[in-house]
Amino acid sequence: MQVLRVLFQFLPIVTMVVLYSLMFWRLKKKWGDENNGLPWEKQSKNGPDAVELMAMNERGVKLNEEEAKEARRQVVERKKLTEKRLLTVSVVICCAFVFLFLPSLIVNLISGSENLDPRVHMITSNITWLNSCVNPFIYVILNPDFRMEYRIILKYLWLKITCKL
């Protein structure tokens, strides 16, 4: 039974921590020491944005070398910002998974856990199941797009309840 507990409880935690650590390490290495700072902290709002410049270029409007370089730089910065947001959400989800899964793992792996009060097992199991519910809240807190969509849904539900749509 202990082997199965380790296999089905400890192995997922280790796998998630290792995979998210590798993802974080690769992105950090990819960003490197560019400009001696974090790429997402350097936002420029001078001139047209990258989308406009790229669209002009596709329509045949010739961009000078400086405008094309600025457009490429802005595209790279947006991509890095998106990667940073994704990484942040991923790390928070991984940490939430680990912290919510850990109590059950510890209770089930300690020797003599069969002698513990059944309520302890029930509480730790409920904490583990809470992991299924926490992800939407993490997305709402960390992702502006999700936040906006949840607001729309909640407003619709409120109107439906109060105004009988």
Give the domain ranges of the chain. 2-163
CA distances from 113 to 18, 37, 130 (A): 28, 49, 22
Q: Cα 127 vs. chain centroid, distance in angstroms?
A: 21
pTM higher than 0.75: no
Q: Tell me which DSSP letter residue 96 carries.
A: H
Q: If you compute the radius of gyration of the chain from its CA atoms, what whole number of angstroms results?
A: 24
Spatial contact of 73 and 45, defined as CB atoms under 8 Å apart: no
**Per-residue pLDDT tens digits for 101-130:** 888 888 877 777 777 888 988 898 899 888
pLDDT tens, 46-101?
A: 455 555 655 655 555 666 777 777 777 888 888 888 888 888 888 888 888 888 88
Q: What is the mean pLDDT of residues 10-39?
A: 69
